Structure formats: structure tokens, C-alpha cells
Amino acid sequence: MKNSDSAEVESLKNDILRGNLSIQNILHKIQNPDITESDVVVLNSEYRSEFKQLKHCIDEFEKVAKDEDDDGELAEDVSLFRNQLTSLQSAFRKANVQCQLTVSMKNKAELFYSNPEEMEIRSRQTKSKEELIKMSTNVTTNLRNISQSMASVLEQNRGTLEVLAQSSNTVSDTQDEFKVMGSALITTKKLVSRFGRRETTDLILIVLALAAFFAACVYVIQKRMF
């Protein structure tokens, strides 16, 4: 993966993390037992905007993963982000329904405040608040697990980038060593070739010298005999 592509991946991951945190913050606000009907309208509008932006970031991340992912790690990240998006969507829907119920019960309580059935309504409201607190605790736990998972993914990616950088340095060093060995082999080949030519020349000279010596010997013997 190129450095520019790696930077784009990290930027998208940061955007996705910020989007998740923004939606978690909205979830925390909408679980407030004292929330008003106008607050619910505002929070729903903020949620739709953040959810749309987060989904767009995940879609862009998936495009980059399809184009640049060689070992399948980015595909795993895409799957994780999709699952987290679905979990956030489900958690918000549940929290929103419970919030609407709480607001509705508060409005009814105000309408029937002077009614003899006031105590019964308050009792039901108290039970609803307890259930809301319990649900809020469960949602908060789930969101905390999601945040930990995302932090773990980011840490693994940082470790992977460090390993890739070390591997790249090792490959570069190995290439330099091969270049040095190649130069040494070429020099050795030239020397061997040069020595081979010299040995052939020396052998020819020795043969010629021996031939001249024997010719001289024959000539001298012939002179003495005749």
C-alpha cells in the first residue's frame, strides 16, 4: 500500500471513530430521565446527521479497502465498522423509543397531577425510570465494548505499519548486499577470464620454445655426424 493510501486509510478511520463517539454522546443525552420533548427533536436531528456522515465514511473506507487491500486486513475492518454501525443504530432506536415513552408519561403525569390517581401514575413513572436506568446501563456497557474494540483495531494497525516499515528496511539492506555480491562476482569473472588467457599464452610459448630447442639439437647432431 502506498503512503498516500495509508494516510487516507488512517484519516478515514479517525473520521469513523469520531462519528462513533458523536453518536455515543447523543445516546448518552437521550437517556437523560429529565429530557424534554424539544430536546428529543433536536437529538433525533443530530443523530440523523451524524449517522449519515458515519455511513458515508464507512462506504469510502470500503472503496479504499477494495482497491488497495492486499492481505484482507482492511476487509476485516470494514466488517467491524459495519457491525458497530448496526449496533449503534439498534441502540439508538431502543433508547429513542424509551425516551418517547418517558416524555409521554411525564406529560400525562402533568395533566393528571391533581387527579386522585396521581400516586399510581407516579409509581408507574418510577418503575419506568428504573427500567430506563437499567437499559441505559446495558447500552453504556455495549458502547464501551465497541470503543474498546475500535481502539484495539487502531492499535493493531499501528503495529502492522511498524512491522511493514521494518520489513521494508530489511529488504533494502538485502538488496544492497546483493548488489555488492554481484559486483564482486563480476570482478572475479573478469580476473578468471584474464588469467585463463595468460595461461594459454604461456603454454604456447613453452611449446614453441621446446620445438626450437629440439630443432637446435637435431641440427647440431646432424652437423657432427656429417
Domain ranges of the chain: 3-178
CB contact set of 78 (below 8 Å; sequence gap of 6+):
58, 61, 62, 65
Q: Which CATH number fits domain 3-178: 1.20.1420, 2.50.20, 1.10.10, 2.60.450?
A: 1.20.1420
pLDDT at 86 over 90: yes
* Rounded mean pLDDT, 154-165: 70
Of 166, 143, 162, 34, residue with least CA distance to 91: 143
pLDDT at residue 85 is higher than 80: yes
0.75 exceeded by the pTM?
no
Residue 184: the pLDDT is 61
Give the whole-number percent of the chain exceeding pLDDT 70: 70
Q: What is the residue-averaged pLDDT of the chain?
A: 78
Confidence bin at 56 (pLDDT 50/70/90): very high
How much is the average pLDDT of 142-165?
73
pLDDT at 76 over 80: yes
One-letter amino acid identity for 155?
A: E
